[in-house]
Structure 1
Amino acid sequence: MNGPDAPDRDGRRPVLRAAVGIGLYAAAFGASFGAVSVSSGLSLLQTMVLSLVMFSGASQYAFAGVVAAGGSPFAAAAAALLLGVRNGFYGVGLAGILRPRGWRRLGTAHFVIDETTAMALGQDSRSLQRYAFWATGLILCSLWQLGTLVGALAGAAVDPSTFGLDAAAPAVFLALLWPRLGSAANRWVAVAGAAVALLLVPLVPQGVPVIAAAGVAGLAGLVPVRQAVRP
């Protein structure tokens, strides 16, 4: 079909395939979290509510890790919040793309995570960016909940380190980030963010290096860059 929207419709199929592929990873990673959460002392109901309300793998692992170490729920929430702050930086860049209004902002913010951000920013047009964000977010959220349930029911029978599921999240995120490193400016931002994070790892509490690296990217984003984007 010819017309101004035809390229976007043609581009949706590979976006959907990529979203499904990431969703399958999310199911496996969610199963890993479910098993870890239950073995850390959280109940099945608590695990599922945490997975639904928080919907951020790194933050959920931080929460379960603090609980497993004997920390209070407040300390666990603080650790999870530190790791989740980076999503606020993502929201700055996505706000101009998604443009949510009113109560929709709350629902949109819930889906602002590493994978949806990378998928959205990796597209060439506004409509395809919005499609990539929502397709990825809805698929990931659904399969994440399913995986969490399976893992929680399996309990200690699943050993995350044995199957390598603890490394799945950073591996997938790097795969999503790679296409964005085509320009020299993006490569410099990535190197600077990684350098800041590595320098801070032995000096500050868990989560702070991630926030600092996101701050580097946020500051770089304030520099005006001319980029042609189709409406």
Structure 2
Amino acid sequence: MRGDDGGKPDAAVVRDALGVGGAVGLSGIAFGVTSAGSGLTLLQTCALSLLVFTGASQFALVGALAAGGNPFTAAAGAFFLGVRNAFYGLRLSQVLALPRAVRPLAAQWVIDETAAVALAQPARRSVRIGFTVTGLSLYVLWNLTTLLGAVGAQAAGDTDAWGLDAAGPAVFLALLAPMLKTATERAAAGGAVVLGLGLLPALPAGVPVLAAALAAPAALWAEGRRRGAAERGHGTGTTDGDARGEDR
């Protein structure tokens, strides 16, 4: 079925949304393993996935706690990583145009994946289908795999001995890498890595993550300077060419 507003066929939108929800939802196993290996209880681990439901923030929180970080510092790092979802929400509220009563519930599903699928759609009907199917499938699968990962980690015993503590960061990097499409984005990511690793021996656990966020404005500033120089150079070349034309 195709929407009256000229959007994609519903089946195609559902297929794409389920593909994203299924692929990303399976990584909840890595979070469950990482969280249980960090010392959180099964209930705490599952509560994080149910209530927080943003993978990067969850990994940042349990990673900082596992390294011995202060709970407030760990929560601050997770909060700053999750702030981006508020910006997604500003855009999604316009294209979804949901009733007021539904918006608080929909806000729980405003994450990278739902925003990506929804904003890729050409019409409101397909935007709503993409957002809903991605959010529902990912939320259900993420929480189920979180439970499975946490239970499995408890059964396995010492996750450090199995090397499972590296599963969370590995999955997060695998999800992040394809999103770095421009030179500025790659520079920001590289700068964050350098800052985080460089400050790791000198600062308490969790603080290097916050400091690494400074790489983003630094990369944007450098890009602005580069574009400004290019525009000035272009303007100078045009002026010189005009001057030569007038001399002739």
The two structures share one fold, judged by TM-score above 0.5? yes
Distance 1:56 1:191 in 2: 26
TM-superposed CA distance for 1:170, in Å, is 2.2
Instruction: Report the counterpart of residue 183 of structure 1 in structure 2.
Output: none
Alignment counterpart, residue 62 of structure 1, candidates 60, 63, 71 = 60
Q: Which range moved further: 107-116 or 191-200? A: 191-200
Distance change in 2, residues 1:73/1:200 (3 Å): closer
Deviation at 1:49, TM superposition (A): 0.4
Match of 2:107 in 1: 109
Match of 2:209 in 1: 206
Q: Deviations over 1:105-155 (max 9, x none)?
A: 221111110000110111111111111011100110000001101000001
Q: Deviations over 1:75-95 (max 9, x none)?
A: 221111010011111112111
Matching of residue 77 in structure 1 with residue 75 in structure 2:
yes
Instruction: Establish whether residue 170 from structure 1 lines up as the match of residue 176 from structure 2.
Output: yes
**Is the 1:197–1:209 contact (alpha carbons within 8 Å) kept by the matching residues of 2?**
no
Within 1, Cα distance between the matches of 2:115 and 2:28?
Answer: 19
Q: Does 1:97 align with 2:124?
A: no
Q: Which runs of 5+ in 2 are unaligned?
A: 157-161, 197-207, 222-248
1:132 is matched with which residue?
130
Match of 1:143 in 2: 141
Q: Distance in 1 between matches of 2:56 and 2:167?
A: 19
Aligned-partner Cα distance in 2 for 1:100–1:3: 17
CA shift for structure 1 position 3: 7.9
Contact 1:111-1:137 within 8 A present in 2 as well: yes
Structure 1 distance, partners of 2:129, 2:2, is: 20
2:85 to 66, 84, 87: 87
1:164-221 deviation digits (Å, cap 9, x = unpaired): 53444225xx3xx69xxxxxxxx8xx544444454455458425258759x99xxxxx
**How far apart in 2 are the matches of 1:3 and 1:128?**
7
Distance 1:201 1:165, change over 3 A: closer
Q: 1:30 aligns with which of 24, 28, 31?
A: 28
TM-score of the two chains, using structure 1 as the length reference = 0.73
SS at match of 2:65: helix
Structure 1: 5+ residue runs without aligned partners? Answer: 179-186, 217-231
Query: Structure 1 pair 68/107, CA: closer, same or farther in 2 (3 Å)?
Result: same
Q: Percent identity?
A: 42
- Mapping 1:187-226, distance limit 5 Å: 190-199=182-191, 202-203=194-195, 205-206=208-209, 208=213, 212=217
Residue deviations 1:51-102, cap 9 Å, x none? 1100000000001011101123222211110100111111121111112343
Whole-angstrom distance in 1 between the partners of 2:106 and 2:97: 9
Which stretch of the first structure deviates more once superposed, 138-147 or 191-200? Answer: 191-200
The 1-side partners of 2:3 and 2:99 are apart by: 29
Matched length? 199
Contact 1:25/1:168, CA 8 A, preserved across alignment: no
The 3 A distance-change label for structure 1 pair 212 and 140 is farther
TM-score, normalised with respect to structure 2: 0.69
